[in-house]
Structure 1
Amino acid sequence: MLLLAAGLAWGLGPWSRAEAQQDSGWFMTEAARYYNGVGRAVNYELALRLYRKVAESGNAEAQYILGGMYYHGIGTTRDEREAVMWLLQAAEAGKSTSLSRYILGYSYLKGELMPQNYAEARRWYGLAAAAGYRQAKNDLAFMHYNGLGGDRDLRQALTLYESAALQGDAQAQYNMGLMHATGSGTELDRVKGYAWFSLAASQGNSGATSARNGMIADMSWDELTRAQDLSMALFRRIEELAPAPSAVSATANEGAEGAEVLQPSPLDALP
């Protein structure tokens, strides 16, 4: 009970940055306990306040978790601008994941939450893509295709699109279909275009459905047969490449809605 009372007093009362920095381990432990409900009721609001004070003292781990909480509205109203600010500070201090790097790349590309900067967008996307994050590969390919933040490179765009498409990204599959169907960065190949469009369409991509259906009238029966066979072969390859559920890495998260951003330190590491 004394520990709980002390935690509440520290959590709700003022303290200096120096105090938060000096006792950051204690604050981080208390914040994680309130976040997870260990030895007390879950209290996201108090966890947020504790993490914020440590984050303000320059702790990258706290900045990273705080960014995730703001991004998903945990213990506070969702605030993407605040989230990106903290995620950027954490990343620049060396604490980031493939998802947080992707968020930074996207934010720099769009220029809505921070000043638009294509070079920075390409840099953060590149770091996320190198870690295997498929959406980052798709967006980085888009930047290479359009020459944003650097030279236009259709070959590199195709390579990145294919890598993301083979990880099951529907938008990348659509983009692969488009490049093959139009001969952009590669030879025109309607069979490959149709096959990739079919894969994206099977995941609900309406643009791919329209593009695939629009190709049928101009394709021979032999081409359609080969395209359907190729689509099935690609589908099997994607399934073979997919990691087992238990083997999916948090740093290569492929679309789980941001879980890796907002988890505090593992509870088994807490004293």
Structure 2
Amino acid sequence: MRKFLFFTAVFLPFVANPVQAQTAKSTKVVAGKTALSLEQKARAGNPKAQTDLGTAYYNGQGMAQDYKQAISWYQKAANQGYPLAQYYLGNACLQGIGLTQSDEQAVSWYQKAANQGLAEAQYSLAIAYYTGRGVTQNYGQASFWFQRSANQGFVPAQFYLGVMYRNGAGIPEDHDRALFWFHKAADKGYADAQYNLGLIYHEGKVVKKDEKQATFWYQQAANQGLVEAEFNLGIAYLKGQGVQKDKDKATFWLEKAADKGDSHAQDVLEMMNK
């Protein structure tokens, strides 16, 4: 079986594209009156409208895509203390989109938004402290900001807070708390948390060993394409751990992992075919 997944990601997948993070929080911008009304509000100084207009320019919704215009509107809103715009500016600084790339500036904007309680910014700030990107590495600060974000229900932060508790990084090691936060994230469909829960139930140190539960969580993560879970699920079917032995299903999941370049799965398949 594979070992635990810890920091498998750096910043959230949507960090490279601020628009993806804003969809649920902003007005959908379309051509015509909506765009015109939005621009009028933005020019009047409304920070939410300025942020939405920046996103419209970034995404090319209702007007031609223009990163410089997007950043200009984000800056106007951010300078008024609007946290979502500050967060998007942090993302832009991190990626060098529409302005000069700067990890330090990214952290500065994340800090401003995090201080106002924006969960996404708190998470990105925590990652910065954990990795030491743009700021001096500090596990204590990382765990602090993961906690703040996780408490608001932000799923990636819940998973990584579980990791911090399991590792005793920046906070006392506490496997019960790790299990709690892994469950929180896993129940919301976070594949890495589902996989780690599978390992916990297979390992049987924090909870009573339960191969059925282990296989259940491997299955959830494997269904989302997590290669480590695909491998472990294949092994479970091969050995009959928590499920009936089934060579066909074992082969299916091991091939899934092998097709993604997993050398362990390739080796097991080779042995199976001898």
Q: Which category describes the TM-score, using the shorter chain as reference length?
A: 0.5 to 0.7
Deviations 1:217-243 (A, max 9, x none): 5437xx4159xxxxxxxxxxxxxxxxx
**Structure 2 counterparts to residues 204-223 of structure 1, below 5 A:** 204-219=225-240, 223=242
d(CA) in 1 for partners of 2:141 and 2:222?
A: 32
Following the alignment from structure 2 to structure 1, what is the Cα–Cα distance between the partners of residues 244 and 104?
A: 49
Question: Counterpart of 1:224?
Answer: 243
Decide which of 56, 76, 79 is 1:36's aligned counterpart.
56
Match of residue 109, structure 2, among 81, 86, 97: 86
Which amino acid in 2 is paired with 1:86?
A: W
Following the alignment from structure 1 to structure 2, what is the Cα–Cα distance between the partners of residues 41 and 111? Answer: 37
Distance 2:53 2:223 in 1: 43
- Aligned equivalent of 2:189: 168
* Counterparts of 1:155 and 1:208, CA distance in 2: 22
After superposition, where does 1:85-234 map in structure 2 within 5 Å? 85-92=108-115, 94=116, 96-219=117-240, 223-225=242-244
TM-score by length of 2: 0.61
Say whether residues 1:59 and 2:81 are aligned partners: yes
Relative contact order higher in (CA < 8 Å, ≥ 6 apart): 1
Distance 1:207 1:121 in 2: 26
Segments of 5+ residues of structure 2 without an aligned counterpart are 1-42, 246-274
Structure 1 residue runs without a partner (length 5+): 1-23, 227-271
Assess if the C-alpha contact under 8 Å between 2:126 and 2:146 holds in 1: yes
TM-score (norm 1): 0.62
Kept in 2, the 8 Å contact 1:137–1:161? The answer is: yes
Matches of 1:196 and 1:40, distance apart in 2:
45
* Aligned equivalents of 2:215, 2:132: Cα separation in 1: 34
1:115 partner SS: coil
8 A Cα contact 2:119 2:149, kept in partner: yes
For the aligned residue pairs, the C-alpha RMSD in angstroms reads 3.2
Task: Find out whether 1:70 has 2:89 as its counterpart.
Answer: no
Cα 1:70–1:193 change in 2 (3 A) is same
Q: Once the two structures are superposed, what CA deviation does each residue of 1:63-115 show, in whole Å capped at 9, x if it has no partner?
A: 334224334554335544432221112322x2x42221111111111222321
SS in 2 for 1:224: coil
Take 1:90 and 1:25, find their aligned partners in 2: how far apart are those partners?
Answer: 23
Percentage of pairs with the same residue:
30
Task: Report if the CA contact (8 A) 2:113-2:121 is conserved.
Answer: no
Distance 1:31 1:140 in 2: 30
Query: Are the equivalent residues in 2 in contact too, given 1:33–1:39 (CA < 8 A)?
Result: no
Question: When the two structures are aligned, how many residues end up with a matched partner?
Answer: 198
Distance 1:213 1:58 in 2: 53
